[in-house]
Amino acid sequence: MKRFLYRYLLTVFAILTMSVCSADAQGLKKIIWGQTSISSSQWIPWIAKDAKIYEKNGLDVDIVYLRGGSGDTSKAIIAGSIYAAPVTTATVMTANLSGADLTTIAHTVKAVQSRVIARPELKRPEDI
């Protein structure tokens, strides 16, 4: 669990600091971060905000809760309403197939978790 939390915090921090090399002389760079879930696996951005990690790196981060799952979240990113958010690989692929230009910057797990489910008579790809 500690490794997951460390990876998640590192991912959030990397995403939010990629566009900022140092604090701007005029103030902090404003960023809106979207969250699609309120669960123990998603609380790292709030901890970083409370610990003022963002401010120390020149960022003023607003964390907003988005309902509707990854599909609505990707639409908010495309529209420019939010800067970044955690979404699934499938969401990024679907958006890009529809003409969007989203990029996966980092993952919090070692491998993409997916499976192929088929009818019982299909045992191999050749059976399709």
Token pair for residue 123?
Answer: 């045992």
Helix, coil or strand: residue 84: strand
Three-state secondary structure of 15-79: HHHCCCCCCECCECEEEEEEECCCCHHHCHHHHHHHCCHHHHCCEEEEEEECCCHHHHHHHHHHH
Domain that holds residue 16: 2-127
Token pair for residue 40?
Answer: 């123990």
The total domain count for the chain is 1
Give the residue among 36, 31, 67, 26 at the shortest CA–CA distance from 49: 31
Give the residue among 23, 21, 20, 4 at the shortest CA–CA distance from 86: 4
Residue 5 has a pLDDT of 66
Q: What is the pLDDT of residues 58-68, one digit of tens each?
A: 999 999 988 86
- Per-residue pLDDT at 22 exceeds 50: no
Q: What is the pLDDT of residues 83-127, one digit of tens each?
A: 988 888 888 889 999 999 998 887 766 776 667 778 888 888 888
